[in-house]
Structure formats: C-alpha cells, structure tokens
Chain A
Amino acid sequence: MIGIFSVMFLGGLSGCDRNAEDLVPQPSSDFPGVIEIGELEVVDGDTLNFFLDQQRGTLSHIQPALDNEAELLLGDADAAEAEGGIASGYEFTGCPELEAEINGLTAQERRDWYDAHGTLDCDEFIASPDGDYNNDARPYYYGQLGRSPELTQGGATFTFKGTGEDVCIIVDPETVFWNQSIINEGYQAQYLYQDLFSDDGDLDIFAGMSSYYTGSPGVEIGDFKGFYTDSKGELVEIQYGECFQTGASQGMTDAHAGRGTTEYCTVATDQQEGVEFTVVLETFSVPLDDGVLSFGVAVMNERCPRVDTSECFVRQESLVPSTVSNQPRSCTDKLEAAQCGGQLASFCCANPQMCGEDGLGDRENVECEDLLVVDEQPVERSEWCDSTGLCCEDDSVIEVESESGGGGGPGL
C-alpha cells in the first residue's frame, strides 16, 4: 500500500519539472526575433492607389502581393480591351511622358517601377527620368518576426524622414481578433463565432527621433527614454517618444492595442523636415500556431484621423512563413474581408476551420443555417460561397500545432 502511494507521490513530484516552454514557440534561426527593416517612405494615399490601380482620392490600403498578369492600359477603355489589357483605374492627367512610361505595366510592375523611381510627380520625372527620389525607401513593408530568445525583447525597427507635417504610422499584426458575444439578448451576430486565438500576434508601436533611440537596429530593441540630472544630482527620466495612443480611459495616452489589432499614432514632425525618426514595433506576443509573427506597416503623410486605421488598411498581413515570399496564408484574406465586411459569423459558419473550435457553443436558437443568407433568404453554403466569394477553396481542417512552433512548417 505504502509502495503505491510512494509511486503516486513521486509521479506527482515529477510533474513539477514541467514548465511552460513546451507551450510556446521556440526561437528560430529562419525568423529572427529582432529585425531591421530599413527606411520607409512617408507615403501618399494616391501612391497606394497607383499600385492598387484605384482612382485617385479613393480610400487606399496596402497589400503584400499585387497582380502581375493583367496589363493596365491608360486611356480609352475600349482601346485597352482591344489590346487585350485592362483599362487603368488610375489615370494620370497632363503628363504624357509619365503615361508613356507607366502604360501597360501590371500592378506589381508598377510597384517595382515606383521602387526604382520613387516619384509620381510629373516635373520630377521629366527632370530626371532615371532618378530615384525616395532613396530606396519602401512605400510600405510586410515582414515576419520569430520569437526572441528568453529574457530579451524582440521586435522590428525602421526609420522614416520627417516631412515637416503630421504623419501617421500604422502597423497591423496578424491576423484578426474579435471578442465573443456572450449574452443571448441583443448579441451582435458578427461576433457569435469564437475567435481562433492561436493565429494572433501582437505588436506594440513606439516612435521618436532616431537621435534619442537607445537600441541597436537589428540587434537589440531599445526605447526612447533619456535622463536629465538636475542641479541637486537627482536623476529624472524623460520620455522622448512621440507616438502616443489614446486608451479607453480618459487621460490614458500610452495605450496599446491587443492581439491581432492595428496600432497607429500620429507623429508631429513640425520643423523636423528631413530629420530621421525611428519606429519600434515591439513584439508582445507571437502566434502559438507557428511561432512566426507576420505584420504589415506603413507611414502615411496624413494625421491618423484622416487615414483608414482599421483592420482593413493593412490587408493580408497573415503571411505564409517564408523568408522569400510575401504570400498571404490561405483564406486569411477572406477572413479579413469578412471582418471588414461585418460578415464574420457567416464566414465562420462557411469556413469553420478558420475560426475557433467551439463554434456557436450552446447558444440557443442560433444555427449556421440562419447565418448563411443571401438576399435575406437562408441558402446552402455553396450558394452563399458563390454569392460572397468568401469561402476557402481548401476545406481541410486546420491543425493547430499543440507543440512548439518555430517557423519550420507552414502552420495553417
């Protein structure tokens, strides 16, 4: 009898040796925990519309992969069709030299052309057709971070040049996150289905003048804190950071958003045109499913209230873990589109592998049949898919890795 209890006791003790290491992704050599992005251009919304082939003035967004097949032809739509291309939605006005240069490029080729030239200004282009006006600064960036080693802070850094005006920094970590609706009365159908939390990561944004930054880009994440010593020898910590986000509580100006959610802040660069600023994207959490945190980031030449700072600005930021391509994960673009379109619950019903396992739970009187609706009529999944285009082609069930990730496999 005593022997049995002894074995049970020792067995219990052995459980004390476990730690949480097995539950979190491990650092990976393929995806470093600290990366340096380089310089980003303070980009204009119409430059993004140029890549997206949208009319100038349209609400813009960014996305990692652009179409590289359809030739976008400027000028008359019928003529474009006759030539086997697509009439461009983005039209230049009064600049034949630039039109001749751009005509017939695909969206991806437009992006490549812009990366090489850095301007859409007619005068600048005519003055120097082969010039590079943004000094290789990228208009936006998509990247991936791994988990940093224990006791070190991970994250990404990049710089931009002050314009003399307000700029808006926007970062979106993968993927989307929503709270569950937990009440039966007055629930929002959009959030009935639970979120798959293991595919979400979290980045916190900080920014300030590069001269105050204490980190080593690509090696060690720092901050924007400095110290002032008064005449009595007292040390006072000074916050030189200039990126403040307002929290839900009144007066809270150093807030950060949670996982999977965009963070953004306006930085005033008044009287600091040409001055270099550093932005730090601190890793708060890495997705548990693969240990790789994908994100997209841009710096816009507007105050944030004048920019789309929603989940829908940085599109398709959930990338296939890869060091060479910027391809979005299968169906995450549709998940994001459903989130932006207020169709999350329907999407999750049609694509349960993209959402939490618990589904609608034990909520009474709510069935997926009620959520798959076209023209206010319940329809079959296939019909809903055809109507919305929000169904994943691969219906295989996603296996969330129960052990450590590390970026070795495709995860989702």
Chain B
Amino acid sequence: MTKHYLTLGLLGLTASGCTFDENLRERDLTGLIKIPVEALESLQLIDPDGTPIVDGGFTVDEDGAPILDITDQMGLLGPVYLGGFASVEPGHYDYMHPEMGPILDSDRPGNTYPYGGTTVGRFDYACYEQLRCKVVTGRYTDYQEILDFFEDVVQEPVLAPDGQQVTSGETYREHCYTTEYVTGDNEVSFIDDEPQADVSPYFKPYFRLDGDHYVADVTIPHTLFVPDMELWGWVDMPSARYNYATCNPAEGNQTYRYTEQFYEGSSYPDLLNYPGTYIDEGDWVASPVSVPDPDEDFEIIFDFHFEG
C-alpha cells in the first residue's frame, strides 16, 4: 500500500514539473509571407550594354521578343528580411519604416532596435567567386539548376577559375566538394532537393506559387514578444545587373586556394537595425502586421513596390 502512495506521489511531482512556466518573453512567431508574382513580372535585367535581357516576366532576345517565362525562377527572389518592431510608421522614407531611436551618428539614421527577426533565404557562397552575393538559400534544388539559371536568365554563364564555362552539374558538385571540403550535398546549404521536408517547428526558406503570390511559411524564432508589436520587412530584389544591396562581397570567409584569394561575401550585420539604408529601387516592402497574440499565425504581404 505504501509503495502505491509513493508511486502516486512521484507521478504527481513529475506531472507538476510539466506545468512549469519560465515566463520568458521570447516566443516563436509563426505565419505566412506572400510576395506578389508581379515582383518578378515587373523585374527588368539588362546586359552590360544596357540591352534588356529580362522584361515583362520573360527573358527576351535582342529584338525584345520573349523567350523564357521567368515567373517560376525563384533565383530572382532575393532574401526576404522580416523583423518585429515597436511600431512601423510613414514619414521616414517613401515606404513604411519601423520607428527609430535617437540619431547618434550624422551619417546614419536612428536604430530601429528590433525585437527579433529572421530571413527567408540567405546569401550563401556557392563555390565560385563569380557567385558571391548572388546565390540565396532555398531557391535551387540542384547544381544544374544554378548553372541553367545563370546561363539562361542572368545570361552570365558560371565560369570556373580557369575561365572555362561550367556546364555540368556534376562538375559543379565536384568543384564544391574539392574547394569546400564537403562530402555530401546535405552539407551544402544553397541547394536542397527536399525543400518541402518537414523541419518543424521551423520551415525551410521555400516558396510555392499560390494564385497571384509566392507563398512561404516562416517562423521568427525566439523573438521578444511585446503585445501589439508590428512585423514588417522587405524583399531584396536584384538590381538591373543582378546584384543585391544587402550583401557585401568584401566580407565573410576568405578563400585562399592557389592563385584565388577573395572574400566569399556576407550579408550586412545590421540590416534590421537600419533597413532604410539598404532598401533600394525595385525592392518590395511589406505592410506592417500587428501581433496581439503570439500564438496566432500572422500573414504578411509584401505589396509595396519601391521604385526609387
């Protein structure tokens, strides 16, 4: 009989431990982001001579005739930056922008002091110097897709260090394995042949086409939750020459291999602190969303096209 009481008591104590609440203010916020297909349809890329190569949702030939539909080319979607802020308000820039703290340096705007944030896709070094700051995670399923994208869409074929064009995904893979000292594709972040795999409670930076929008599930992890805080962000869209404003090619890890010596590129570290200094022509900016309850899913639409 005594044993039964003891067991019950232990069970009760164990169960009471399950209800322990640390009262942390940091929460995981989960929701959906939506980017209009218009973001790619309105994108224009040009070659070094200024001749359009992508226009009106298609790659175009010298006469402007459409060749390839680019609305399924996820490589044209740059990283999506998402943050939680005290408030987002008009008046600072031509688009809604988070409230800012005091201006401490005459060369910079005030800090937004974000509560937290994340990205949907990030810059990753894709084994070739030419691809620094040009490849975003969650946009490609294999090596060949990257080669095809840069040859057919950006129209700057990937070149090996010896100047020869890389045409085979297998060659690309071997180059990555050799130079990055990896032994499997699962160690390479910029390709993912299972982008829809369940990695809950988080999500891979994978977009799917849903009606007029590209849609992605996202979790903003461990963010300070303040009732009625506002979520906001922007998509860094490529410039006309396919460069991104939020990546610095002169930072990041360094490659030292025979005659190759260069930095591999890295995002700027203060993107959410000073977003106004990085948002540039062509980017799509979100309408702010208030979060009264951290357990409710949010939906953010990047519906403002900043035209400079």
Main secondary structure of the interface of A (DSSP, over half): loop
Whether A234 contacts B86 in the complex (CB less than 8 A), given A228-B113, A271-B106, comes out as yes
Chain A residues with CB under 8 Å of B229's CB are 232
Decide if B160 is an interface residue (CB 8 Å cutoff).
Answer: no
The answer to whether B228 and A230 have CB atoms under 8 Å apart is no
The answer to whether A228 and B102 have CB atoms under 8 Å apart is yes
Decide if A183 is an interface residue (CB 8 Å cutoff).
Answer: no
Decide if B99 is an interface residue (CB 8 Å cutoff).
Answer: yes
CA of A236 to CA of B226, assembled, Å: 14
Decide if B104 is an interface residue (CB 8 Å cutoff).
Answer: yes
CA of A109 to CA of B272, assembled, Å: 58
**A230 closest partner in B (C-beta):** B86
Decide if B239 is an interface residue (CB 8 Å cutoff).
Answer: no
Chain A residues with CB under 8 Å of B87's CB are 230-232
Which chain A residues in 212-262 approach chain B with CB under 8 Å? 228, 230-232, 234, 236, 238, 240
Chain A residues with CB under 8 Å of B104's CB are 238, 240
The answer to whether B106 and A230 have CB atoms under 8 Å apart is no
Question: Scoring B residues 271 to 287 as 1 if CB is less than 8 Å from chain A, else 0, what string do you get?
Answer: 00000000000000000
Question: Scoring B residues 187 to 214 as 1 if CB is less than 8 Å from chain A, else 0, what string do you get?
Answer: 0000000000000000000000000000
Decide if B101 is an interface residue (CB 8 Å cutoff).
Answer: yes
Whether A238 contacts B106 in the complex (CB less than 8 A), given A230-B113, A231-B86, A232-B226, comes out as no
CB distance from B25 to the nearest CB of A (A): 10
Instruction: List B residues at the A interface (Cβ < 8 Å).
Output: 86-87, 99, 101-102, 104, 106, 113, 115, 224, 226-229
Chain B residues with CB under 8 Å of A231's CB are 86-87, 99
CA of A271 to CA of B105, assembled, Å: 11
Chain B residues with CB under 8 Å of A228's CB are 101-102, 113
**B89 closest partner in A (C-beta):** A231
Chain A residues with CB under 8 Å of B115's CB are 234
CB distance from A243 to the nearest CB of B (A): 15
The answer to whether B101 and A234 have CB atoms under 8 Å apart is no
The answer to whether A238 and B86 have CB atoms under 8 Å apart is no
Chain A residues with CB under 8 Å of B227's CB are 232
CA of A232 to CA of B225, assembled, Å: 11
Which chain A residues in 257-294 approach chain B with CB under 8 Å? 271
Chain B residues with CB under 8 Å of A271's CB are 106
Chain B residues with CB under 8 Å of A232's CB are 86-87, 226-229
CB distance from B254 to the nearest CB of A (A): 11
Chain B residues with CB under 8 Å of A238's CB are 101-102, 104
> 8 nearest interchain CB pairs?
A230-B86, A228-B101, A232-B86, A236-B113, A232-B226, A231-B86, A231-B87, A231-B99
The answer to whether A234 and B226 have CB atoms under 8 Å apart is yes
CB distance from B20 to the nearest CB of A (A): 26
Chain B residues with CB under 8 Å of A230's CB are 86-87, 99, 101, 113
CA of A238 to CA of B110, assembled, Å: 11
**B269 closest partner in A (C-beta):** A251
CA of A215 to CA of B260, assembled, Å: 52
CB distance from A177 to the nearest CB of B (A): 33
Chain B residues with CB under 8 Å of A240's CB are 104
CB distance from A242 to the nearest CB of B (A): 10
CA of A180 to CA of B26, assembled, Å: 47
CA of A236 to CA of B98, assembled, Å: 15
Chain A residues with CB under 8 Å of B226's CB are 232, 234
CA of A271 to CA of B106, assembled, Å: 9
Further pairs besides A231-B87, A238-B102: 4, Cβ < 8 Å: A228-B101, A230-B86, A234-B86, A234-B224
Chain A residues with CB under 8 Å of B86's CB are 230-232, 234
CA of A238 to CA of B101, assembled, Å: 10
CA of A238 to CA of B228, assembled, Å: 24
CB distance from B274 to the nearest CB of A (A): 15
A-B contact pairs, 17 of them (CB 8 A): A228-B102, A228-B113, A230-B86, A230-B87, A231-B86, A231-B99, A232-B87, A232-B226, A232-B229, A234-B86, A234-B115, A234-B224, A234-B226, A236-B101, A236-B113, A238-B104, A271-B106
CB distance from B102 to the nearest CB of A (A): 6
CB distance from A241 to the nearest CB of B (A): 11
CA of A228 to CA of B226, assembled, Å: 16
CB distance from B271 to the nearest CB of A (A): 16
**A233 closest partner in B (C-beta):** B226
CA of A228 to CA of B113, assembled, Å: 10
CA of A213 to CA of B238, assembled, Å: 44
CA of A369 to CA of B115, assembled, Å: 65
CA of A236 to CA of B86, assembled, Å: 11
CA of A25 to CA of B106, assembled, Å: 46
CA of A112 to CA of B224, assembled, Å: 59
Chain B residues with CB under 8 Å of A234's CB are 86, 113, 115, 224, 226
Chain A residues with CB under 8 Å of B224's CB are 234
CA of A234 to CA of B101, assembled, Å: 12
CA of A238 to CA of B106, assembled, Å: 16
CB distance from B27 to the nearest CB of A (A): 15
CA of A250 to CA of B113, assembled, Å: 24
**A212 closest partner in B (C-beta):** B104
CA of A298 to CA of B172, assembled, Å: 57
**A271 closest partner in B (C-beta):** B106
CA of A260 to CA of B264, assembled, Å: 39
CB distance from A401 to the nearest CB of B (A): 47
Chain B residues with CB under 8 Å of A236's CB are 101, 113
CA of A113 to CA of B87, assembled, Å: 60
**B226 closest partner in A (C-beta):** A232
CB distance from A92 to the nearest CB of B (A): 39
**A236 closest partner in B (C-beta):** B113
CA of A238 to CA of B229, assembled, Å: 21
CA of A209 to CA of B162, assembled, Å: 54
CB distance from B106 to the nearest CB of A (A): 6
CA of A240 to CA of B101, assembled, Å: 13
CA of A188 to CA of B101, assembled, Å: 51
Chain A residues with CB under 8 Å of B106's CB are 271
CB distance from B226 to the nearest CB of A (A): 5
CB distance from B237 to the nearest CB of A (A): 29
CA of A238 to CA of B111, assembled, Å: 10
**B112 closest partner in A (C-beta):** A230
CB distance from A165 to the nearest CB of B (A): 15
CA of A22 to CA of B302, assembled, Å: 67
CA of A240 to CA of B228, assembled, Å: 29
Chain A residues with CB under 8 Å of B102's CB are 228, 238
